Amino acid sequence: MNKYILIGLLASCAMACKSPEARKPVTVNKGSFINLSVERNIKLNQKEREFIEGIIQKDTSNTYIASESGFWYYYNTKVAQDTITPNFGDIVNFDYSVTDLSGNQIYSEEEIVPMDYAMDKEELFTGLREGLKLMKPGETVTFFFPSQKAYGYYGDSNRIGTNTPLICKVTVNTITQTQND
């Protein structure tokens, strides 16, 4: 009889040490919302890209450059000599204006006072931040940003609406280099 009690106690101890098993969810989300969102954004990007490329083909007076970051630009004023471009933390003073792809003024240079921007340390929309990295003091560049490189889905909560591609004319006045440790 003692054998059976001992075997029963050992069996119950072994079962008590077992770790709990995870339960399977009652419903399984297959990411359909995310997949639909990705499809919608791919179509939107393609449509904006085709529209911008159409503008570029019609404009024979400027030489456009496609950036690796997914926007296009041309130089209004190019500095030929070898000068600095901004690095992380450098202070860039610049002016810019914003229009939509139809040429309608959204923000003029007069409305936007010259800005001082600490490179990659402050908030600035993605396309403009990447565009400034290409510029030298004294240069003026016109950028064509698809909406995902501009203000994207949210806009700027003022004059720039949802999914609005932009044209920005930017002039870099000065670049003040900082000591980066």
Average pLDDT, rounded, for the chain: 89
Residues in contact with 89: Cβ distance below 8 Å, sequence separation at least 6, in sequence order: 118, 119, 120, 121, 178, 180
Mean pLDDT calculated for residue range 28-47: 84
pLDDT, position 7? 78
Is it true that domain 62-176 has CATH number 3.10.50.40?
yes
For the chain, what percent of residues have pLDDT higher than 70? Answer: 88
CA proximity to 86, closest of 136, 139, 149: 136
Tell me the pTM: 0.79
Looking at per-residue confidence, does 132 or 22 come out higher?
Answer: 132
**Predicted confidence (pLDDT) at residue 181 exceeds the cutoff of 60:** no
Predicted local distance difference test score (pLDDT) of residue 35:
85
- What letter would DSSP give residue 148? G
Q: Return the pLDDT at 27.
A: 66
Summarised one tens digit per residue, pLDDT across range 86-95 is: 999 999 999 9
Q: What is the pLDDT of residue 153?
A: 86
Burial class (CB in 10 A: 0-12, 13-18, 19+), 14: exposed
Per-residue pLDDT averaged across 65-82, rounded? 93
- Mean pLDDT along residues 97-117: 93
pLDDT digits (tens, 9 = 90+) for 140-180: 999 999 999 999 988 898 999 999 999 999 999 999 998 76
